[in-house]
Structure 1
Amino acid sequence: MELFAPDETAAIEQALIADGANLRALPLERLGFYGGRPRPLPVAIGNCFYDEDEDWDERYAGNEPRREADRRQAQLVAGALWRGCARLLEGLFDDLCELGDLEAAGGDVQDFIENESEVLHGLPPAFAQEYDSYFVRRFLVVAADMTTKLAGKWTPPSCVAQELAVRCLVGVTDAYLDEVDVDVERGWGSYVFDALVEDADYEFLYDITSVGRREALLRMSHVDTINLGFNSWFEPFGDRPLSAFVDPEPPARPQLQPSEYTVDPEAFPGEARQSALDSGELEDLSYYTDEGPFTCPLAITREAREATVAAAPDPDNEEQTEQETDSYYRIIAAAAAAVQEEPDRVSARFNVPAQDGNGVWLTLVAGPDDAGGQHLTVQLATP
Structure 2
Amino acid sequence: MTYVVTVDTCIPEDTPEMDPLQRAGAVALIENGFDSVRAIEGPDGVKVDLLDTIVAVYPGGALLKVIVDAPGLEFAEDSVQALVDELLERSELLADWTIERCEVELHQDLARESLDAAEGPDAPPDDPAARKARHTESPMLEGTEEGYEAEAKAAAVRSRMLGLADELRSFPPVMFGVLDDEDDEREDDERDDGDAGFAVPPESARLAAGALVHATDILVDELFEDAQVLTQEDATVAECDGPLWHLERLPDRYALQYDARFARRFLVTVIAMTTRFTDGSFQRLSCVAEELALRFLLSRATMTLELYELLDGDVSAALDAFAANVYEDMDHEWLYDGSMDGIDEASVGAALGVAPVAFSAWFTPFSEGRYVHPSAADEPEAAAQ
Point out the structure with max Rg over C-alpha: 1
Alignment match, 2:311: 183
Deviation digits for residues 168-226 of structure 1 (CA, Å, limit 9, x no counterpart): 1111111211222223224544322222121111111111x245443986442245544
Q: CA deviation at 1:148?
A: 0.8
Q: Pick one of 224, 228, 232 that aligns with 1:97.
A: 228
Deviation digits for residues 300-343 of structure 1 (CA, Å, limit 9, x no counterpart): xxxxxxxxxxxxxxxxxxxxxxxxxxxxxxxxxxxxxxxxxxxx
Unpaired runs of 5+ residues, structure 1, are: 39-49, 253-292, 296-383
Question: For the residues of structure 2 that align with 1:100 and 1:30, how far apart are their CA atoms?
Answer: 38
1:243 aligns with 2:373: yes
Indicate the larger mover: 240-249 or 151-160. Answer: 240-249
1:37 aligns with 2:165: no
Question: For the residues of structure 2 that align with 1:294 and 1:30, how far apart are their CA atoms?
Answer: 36
Is residue 227–residue 233 contact of structure 1 (8 Å, CA) maintained in 2?
Answer: no
Alignment match, 1:79: 210
Q: CA deviation at 1:54?
A: 5.8
TM-score, reference length from structure 1? 0.53
Cα distance 1:128–1:14, how it changes in 2: closer, same or farther (>3 A)? Answer: same
Q: CA deviation at 1:110?
A: 2.0
Alignment match, 1:70: 201
Letter in 2 for 1:14: S
1:173 aligns with 2:173: no
Deviation digits for residues 117-140 of structure 1 (CA, Å, limit 9, x no counterpart): 112133212211111011111111
Q: CA deviation at 1:247?
A: 2.3
Question: For the residues of structure 2 that align with 1:218 and 1:67, how far apart are their CA atoms?
Answer: 40
Mapping for residues 118-133 of structure 1, pairs under 5 Å: 118-133=245-260
Q: Secondary structure at the match of 2:343?
A: helix
Q: Pick one of 72, 83, 88 that aligns with 2:219.
A: 88
1:157 aligns with 2:301: no
Question: For the residues of structure 2 that align with 1:234 and 1:93, how far apart are their CA atoms?
Answer: 18
Is residue 227–residue 235 contact of structure 1 (8 Å, CA) maintained in 2?
Answer: no
Question: For the residues of structure 1 that align with 2:344 and 2:261, how far apart are their CA atoms?
Answer: 29
Q: CA deviation at 1:33?
A: 2.2
Alignment match, 2:325: 195
Question: For the residues of structure 1 that align with 2:373 and 2:238, how far apart are their CA atoms?
Answer: 28
Deviation digits for residues 249-307 of structure 1 (CA, Å, limit 9, x no counterpart): 2999xxxxxxxxxxxxxxxxxxxxxxxxxxxxxxxxxxxxxxxx999xxxxxxxxxxxx
Q: Secondary structure at the match of 1:110?
A: coil
TM-score, reference length from structure 2? 0.53
Is residue 24–residue 150 contact of structure 1 (8 Å, CA) maintained in 2?
Answer: yes
Alignment match, 1:230: 359
Question: For the residues of structure 1 that align with 2:188 and 2:271, how far apart are their CA atoms?
Answer: 37
Question: For the residues of structure 2 that align with 1:59 and 1:225, how far apart are their CA atoms?
Answer: 37
Cα distance 1:294–1:141, how it changes in 2: closer, same or farther (>3 A)? Answer: closer
Question: For the residues of structure 1 that align with 2:250 and 2:348, how far apart are their CA atoms?
Answer: 20
Q: CA deviation at 1:88?
A: 1.5
Aligned alpha-carbon RMSD (Å): 3.6
Unpaired runs of 5+ residues, structure 2, are: 1-138, 142-146
Question: For the residues of structure 1 that align with 2:277 and 2:367, how far apart are their CA atoms?
Answer: 21
Is residue 21–residue 79 contact of structure 1 (8 Å, CA) maintained in 2?
Answer: yes
Question: For the residues of structure 2 that align with 1:225 and 1:245, how far apart are their CA atoms?
Answer: 28
Deviation digits for residues 39-84 of structure 1 (CA, Å, limit 9, x no counterpart): xxxxxxxxxxx6xx963455777xxxx9997222211111110111
Cα distance 1:67–1:211, how it changes in 2: closer, same or farther (>3 A)? Answer: closer
Question: For the residues of structure 1 that align with 2:200 and 2:324, how far apart are their CA atoms?
Answer: 21
Letter in 2 for 1:176: T
Is residue 160–residue 227 contact of structure 1 (8 Å, CA) maintained in 2?
Answer: no
Alignment match, 1:277: none
Is residue 288–residue 332 contact of structure 2 (8 Å, CA) maintained in 1?
Answer: yes
Cα distance 1:27–1:58, how it changes in 2: closer, same or farther (>3 A)? Answer: farther
Alignment match, 1:137: 264
Mapping for residues 220-369 of structure 1, pairs under 5 Å: 220-223=349-352, 225-226=354-355, 228-239=357-368, 240-249=370-379
Letter in 2 for 1:182: L
Is residue 146–residue 162 contact of structure 1 (8 Å, CA) maintained in 2?
Answer: yes
Indicate the larger mover: 14-23 or 183-192. Answer: 183-192
Is residue 119–residue 172 contact of structure 1 (8 Å, CA) maintained in 2?
Answer: no
Q: Count residues with an aligned counterpart.
A: 234
Question: For the residues of structure 2 that align with 1:97 and 1:67, how far apart are their CA atoms?
Answer: 45
Question: For the residues of structure 2 that align with 1:96 and 1:76, how far apart are their CA atoms?
Answer: 30
**Matched residues, percent identical?**
28
Question: For the residues of structure 1 that align with 2:240 and 2:269, how far apart are their CA atoms?
Answer: 22
Question: For the residues of structure 2 that align with 1:229 and 1:68, how far apart are their CA atoms?
Answer: 38
Question: For the residues of structure 2 that align with 1:193 and 1:182, how far apart are their CA atoms?
Answer: 19
Letter in 2 for 1:27: P
Cα distance 1:101–1:184, how it changes in 2: closer, same or farther (>3 A)? Answer: same
Letter in 2 for 1:135: F
